[in-house]
Structure 1
Amino acid sequence: MRIVFVIGTSTGGVGTHVRALARELTAAGHEIGVIGPAATDEHFGFSLLPGVRFGVLELGTGIGASDAALIRRQRILLRSFAPQIVHAHGFRAGLITHLTLRTVKTRPKFVLSLHNRASGQGLRGKVETRVETMLARGADLVLGASTDLVDRARGLGARTARFLPAAAPEVTPVSAEAAAATRATLAEEFDFDPGALIVLAVGRVAKQKNYPMLVRGLVRLGDDLPDKATNPPGSASPARLGEGNRQDDIVVLIAGAADEEVLADVRARYADAAAASAIPALHFLGPRDDIAELAAAADIYALTSVWEARALVLQEALISGKAIVATATGGSAELVGDAGILIDDDDDAAFAAAVAELAVDPARRAALGAEARARGAKLPDEREVAEELAGLYTELVSAQVG
């Protein structure tokens, strides 16, 4: 089959997903093209994949007068690719693709993948719902990365909507020695005890990740901890956290690129909280290429997002066998299941309680880690997801021929 993927600006899970699909489907003998911004290609290297053709389409994030030029440009690109299937990922790519396909004489099958939910309020929310409805009804097939997205598409009138997961990433096994070395390096760099309990969060510092809730949770943890000066090591204490029952027994690390405005806000919130009372340490690591090592060195993996479809980082945590504390939003609950502690969105008290429970109970952490590893071993990999998608494409093309 001749298949074209359309993708907007991406630096995270969506681009990773599309790259894996392009690679696996090309290897299976299909002709693959990818249309999207040059920066997205630079980040993911679509044009470097053997057999994959890339066409530049500078999809911005907002609707405007320039969309007419984008439609003309995409029509030219599609004519050169002559696809049987056009598969757009996300609202922006979906909208431009839908409008473009309305202008072509011979229309290929249109598949839309939803990776995020619309979150606009007021007038913006109404506009987003109208766009969602148009896309859901205009696509031949809508795919949701979580079942709530599938239900949403069906409710808006999609003729066919199905669940297709973003594949589990490949996680390189990390030895105990390497994990210990990473922990020691982090402890030296950020000046904390190598024996501290490490809570790791991975993901772009952006509003969706809701790190202000994490900061509020740290304040609650700090309230439960006696001050180091009044509770010297080895003394008896009723506190619940850490081997030494002090604030410095827990350290939180956040790895990922950042929206600078959001990062500044989170830093300021933390600084104000730390000035008012003693709370666990929080360090921002920035973008990292050693996530597997960081996960292996950590004791708890945390995800505080207001919503996630099927977070790749949660899948990495499962495969790595980490005890997980995550908000039960979108597809996270169905992904994690019993392999972690699930809390309500924006519930800092529940977050603090979950970390507190795991901090003093290594057996519980180990049990959750074992359950996570077992669950992670059952996640579909990139080839399996690509094969499932190819089957759905075949159904569409066969129906068209029939």
Structure 2
Amino acid sequence: MSTTRIVLVLGSSAGGVGVHIAGLAREFAERGHRVGVIGPAETDALFRFSSIPGVKFAAVPIPAHLSLKETAAVSAVRALVAGFHADVVHAHGFRAGLLSALAIRRMRRSRRPRLVSTWHNAILSTGARRRLERGVARLIARSADVVLGASTDLVDLARELGAEHAAFAPAAAPTPTFGEDVNYSLARRRLLSELGLSPDAILVLTVGRVARQKDLGTLLDAAALWRQTHPRIHSIVAGGADAKVLEPLEARVRAERLPVRFLGQRQDVAALNIAADMVVLTSTWEARALVIQEAMLTGKAVIATAVGGLPELIGDAGILVPAGDAEAVADAVRALADDPVRRSELGRQAAIRALDFPDEAHVADVIEEFYASRPASPGNPGNPKESTTP
């Protein structure tokens, strides 16, 4: 692919989407492309886009709520795209996709870049809000040259809403980073000491932002069930938080004395994965969650809800449970706590499956194909491994 002027656009992000975009920006710049990133200033503080060699960052306060009336943000995006002489605008998420679609449609046809929109999340709201969000998604689907879904259910949604060309595109599996040489014994000893727990404790790790989508109320319900028969099991939750969601959860933990700790944002997630006995995710929806990929790369037994892209990610290398089913979560946790051999075997299967996860270079190869050419037909995504090229 010849040198291309690429603009990546994102809204607020504190997790996997920002990591994914930073990886793309780095790969594209290393390949000699001209790369710009547009997003809120706080995303640059988190993911350091402006420090990536060959990447330019422009701060635009992309609003937190979807609206067709964000004229200031639309004008800012349009001016930046035009000034950069972009060949491709790649918008990540519905908010960035909406602003990019509105910005590009107001440009002269001869100067319009190709629009690629990646959808990272499902539409989970209800009522009037859901109708608005579906309307926005429909506008994006019909405006973009290509819609990419982070899981195959999102590809199906894009087609349902009118996308002419939609396909699955993977996010890179994050490489575990420790900052120093950390082995299981050392990582576990440090964490148990920090938490004030005994050496025979069973640690159940959840990683992710404390938000409604993560359904941590179900995790607390499960903890209330397993503590009755398995007092050695302790749940730890690592990640930033929506205060309105976190405060009632913490209040419940205190009132019921549940074996759950909220650790806040952590920079040592890889070490936490090593120290934990298993990883649990109770989300109502996920694409192909990077936190689960991290756990599998570390060789941990995984228990997760059978939603979104998680079943196709985990396959038979973990335990899938229905969303919102605290008894199923508690039963799975207790079963693995009682059976270290099965726990170890699931971890081994997870690590083997993770060998096939795409890295940043592979993901960039896939995305470049979508930048360079229009798919001949939407096709059928089928197995994501067989659907990463047009």
Name the TM-score, length of structure 2 as normaliser. 0.92
Question: Any conservation in 1 of the 2:6–2:90 contact (CA below 8 Å)?
Answer: yes
Amino acid at match of 2:244: E
Q: Which residue pairs with 1:301 in the alignment?
A: 279
Q: Which residue pairs with 1:259 in the alignment?
A: 242
Residue 80 (str. 1) matches residue 86 (str. 2): no
1:237-248 paired onto structure 2 within 5 Å: 241=230, 247=231
Amino acid at match of 1:326: A
Question: Any conservation in 1 of the 2:223–2:330 contact (CA below 8 Å)?
Answer: yes
Could you say what secondary structure the match of 1:301 adopts? strand
Q: Which residue pairs with 1:367 in the alignment?
A: 345
Residue deviations 1:25-75, cap 9 Å, x none? 111121111111111112111111111111221101124586111122112
Residue deviations 1:340-389, cap 9 Å, x none? 10001011010001001101001100110000000111100011000111
Q: Which residue pairs with 1:171 in the alignment?
A: 176
Residue 33 (str. 1) matches residue 36 (str. 2): yes
Unmatched tracts of structure 1, length 5 or more? 226-240, 242-246
Number of residues of Structure 1 aligned to a counterpart in Structure 2 = 372
| Structure 1 residue 309, shift from structure 2 partner | 0.7
- In structure 2, relative to structure 1, the CA distance for the partners of 1:191 and 1:324 (3 Å cut) is same
- In structure 2, relative to structure 1, the CA distance for the partners of 1:323 and 1:65 (3 Å cut) is closer
Q: Distance in 2 between matches of 1:177 and 1:65?
A: 49
Query: Considering only CA atoms, is the larger Rg found in Structure 1 or Structure 2?
Result: 1
| Structure 1 residue 295, shift from structure 2 partner | 0.6
Q: Which residue pairs with 1:67 in the alignment?
A: 70
Q: Which residue pairs with 1:244 in the alignment?
A: none
Could you say what secondary structure the match of 2:237 adopts? strand
Unmatched tracts of structure 2, length 5 or more? 378-390
- In structure 2, relative to structure 1, the CA distance for the partners of 1:386 and 1:177 (3 Å cut) is closer
- In structure 2, relative to structure 1, the CA distance for the partners of 1:396 and 1:32 (3 Å cut) is farther
- In structure 2, relative to structure 1, the CA distance for the partners of 1:99 and 1:341 (3 Å cut) is same
Q: Which residue pairs with 1:158 in the alignment?
A: 163
Residue 220 (str. 1) matches residue 198 (str. 2): no
- In structure 2, relative to structure 1, the CA distance for the partners of 1:18 and 1:177 (3 Å cut) is closer
Could you say what secondary structure the match of 1:346 adopts? coil
Question: Any conservation in 2 of the 1:205–1:258 contact (CA below 8 Å)?
Answer: yes
Q: Distance in 2 between matches of 1:297 and 1:329?
A: 26
Q: Which residue pairs with 2:365 in the alignment?
A: 387
Amino acid at match of 1:360: D
Amino acid at match of 2:76: R
| Structure 1 residue 333, shift from structure 2 partner | 0.8
1:187-336 paired onto structure 2 within 5 Å: 187-223=192-228, 225=229, 241=230, 247=231, 249-274=232-257, 281-336=259-314
Question: Any conservation in 1 of the 2:146–2:165 contact (CA below 8 Å)?
Answer: yes
Name the TM-score, length of structure 1 as normaliser. 0.89
Q: Distance in 1 between matches of 2:62 and 2:184?
A: 41
| Structure 1 residue 174, shift from structure 2 partner | 9.9
**Greater shift in the superposed pair: 263-272 or 363-372:** 263-272
Q: Which residue pairs with 1:141 in the alignment?
A: 146
**Greater shift in the superposed pair: 62-71 or 142-151:** 62-71
Could you say what secondary structure the match of 1:201 adopts? strand
Q: Of 91, 98, 101, which residue of structure 2 is paired with 1:98?
A: 101
Identity among equivalent pairs (%):
45
